[in-house]
Amino acid sequence: MKIMELPIEFELNGQKNYINPSLIIWKNELTLVDTGYPDFLPLIENEILKNGYEMKNLKNIIITHYDIDHIGSLYDFKEKYPLINIIASEVESKFISGEMKSERLVQAEEMIEDMPIQEIEFGKWFIQQLKKLKHVSIDEKVHDGDLILDNECRVVATPGHTSGHISLYFPSLKSVISGDAAVKENHELGIANPQFCLNVEEAEQSLRKIKDLKAENYYCYHGGIFTL
């Protein structure tokens, strides 16, 4: 088994940005963790192909949580690769499938009421982007402690950033894919975007939880690989 970082560079609001979806390679099968913003499918495909892998071997997509930069291209992947198996926590699956209004949209609508005038335009744009996201059914709903990918990967519930956020622990690789439960900043692990965490206390507990796994490599969606 191998985990590979897929660094994606893009421009947002006139600034260079980066995200780092992960690709898990196991027995010639590929599993993608998170799908970037809307219209990022070609960027992610190119990165996978550039590393010598074939899209026909993409079997699973794991979503760590409902946020536009993590699920933005999920619908496009499912449309293009309809046999793909989509995995998410039971909590997040309700938002991704449209069964419930997403926590992030509820938060954005509440925040805009108290935003400074100069930020309201961006707030409205962000709300529209969330509303435009297409719903996708989840094939496999997971919970804390579940073993997936032939028991090589353990699901770790890491709520705080969102209530159903999950991280992925690979004991044999001594590695964690953290989603937004951790960010690599200033050569250490911290909480990703605390101002947008739905519960900062829970986010701090979740960060401690994955640190306590004593992994050697933490694959952070924002910031890249943190190696102890």
- pTM for this structure? 0.95
Residue 89 has a pLDDT of 98
pLDDT score for 53 = 97
Q: Which residue has the tokens 């159903």?
A: 164
The length of the chain is: 228
186 token code pair: 């200033």
Q: How many angstroms separate the Cα of 138 from the Cα of each of 25, 41, 86, 129?
A: 21, 18, 5, 21
Are 133 and 72 in contact by the 8 Å Cβ rule? The answer is yes
Assess contact for 101 and 135: CB atoms under 8 A.
no
Q: In what order do the strands lie in the sheet with 22-26?
A: 2-5, 22-26, 29-33, 58-62, 85-89, 140-142
Q: What is the pLDDT along the chain (228 residues), one digit of tens a residue?
A: 999 999 999 987 788 999 999 999 999 999 999 999 999 999 999 999 999 999 999 999 999 999 999 999 999 999 999 999 999 999 999 999 999 999 999 999 998 888 888 888 888 989 999 999 999 999 999 999 999 999 999 999 999 999 999 999 999 999 999 999 999 988 899 999 898 899 999 999 999 999 999 999 999 999 999 998
pLDDT number for residue 144: 98
Q: What fold, for 2-227?
A: Metallo-beta-lactamase; Chain A (3.60.15)
Question: In sequence order, what DSSP letters do the residues of the chain get, joined into one string?
Answer: -EEEE--EEEEETTEEEEE--EEEEETTEEEEE---STT-HHHHHHHHHHTT--GGGEEEEE--S--HHHHTTHHHHHHHSTTPEEEEEHHHHHHHTTSS--HHHHHHHHHGGG--HHHHHHHHHHHHHHHHPPP---SEEE-TT-EETTTTEEEEE--SSSTT-EEEEEGGGTEEEEETS-EEETTEEE-S-GGG-S-HHHHHHHHHHHHTTT-SEEEETTTEEEE-
What is the pLDDT at residue 117? 86
pLDDT at 186 (0 to 100) = 85
